């Protein structure tokens, strides 16, 4: 009976941790070292001729929070050429890239390796990205 309780408790703990991990797939602000910006050139790849590097912690925080709050747009997408490419460089030297469309009140991102899916960013967060881009 004690063995059965231990097995059930172990299974419950595994289920708890595995269900929590699905919600932690967001970037941590502290993990991002810098964000490099370039003008958009092609879908599916990042232009590495960077025009700006963001290292200010407040600007990084605002961009990361905006990307973490993005909402997936369902359905087929047919996007014009983007405005910018963003390349997030993490402390461990790994990278995450986005194509960015942005104006004064809205922003949309797409990951270069998934050009069939876009994500909208709220107008409030678009304003914060615009501030970081200046």
- CATH number for 27-133: choose from 3.30.450.20, 3.40.1190.20, 2.60.40.4400, 1.10.240.10: 2.60.40.4400
pLDDT at 1: 58
**DSSP code for 134:** -
Structural domain boundaries of the chain?
Answer: 27-133
pTM: 0.77
Q: Each residue's pLDDT tens digit in the chain (134 positions)? A: 555 444 544 444 544 443 333 333 577 878 999 999 999 999 999 999 999 999 999 999 999 999 998 999 988 888 999 999 999 999 999 999 999 999 988 999 999 999 889 999 999 999 999 999 98
């Amino acid at each position: 009976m004690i063995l059965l309780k231990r097995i059930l408790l172990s299974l419950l703990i595994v289920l708890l941790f595995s269900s929590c991990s699905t919600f932690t797939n967001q970037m941590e602000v502290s993990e991002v070292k810098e964000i490099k910006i370039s003008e958009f050139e092609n879908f599916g790849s990042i232009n590495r001729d960077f025009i700006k590097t963001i290292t200010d912690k407040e600007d990084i925080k605002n961009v990361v929070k905006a990307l973490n709050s993005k909402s997936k747009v369902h359905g087929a997408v047919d996007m014009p050429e983007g405005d910018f490419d963003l390349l997030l460089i993490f402390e461990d030297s790994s990278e995450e890239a986005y194509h960015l469309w942005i104006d004064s009140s809205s922003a949309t991102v797409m990951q270069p390796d998934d050009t069939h899916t876009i994500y909208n960013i709220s107008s409030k967060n678009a304003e914060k990205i615009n501030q970081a881009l200046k």
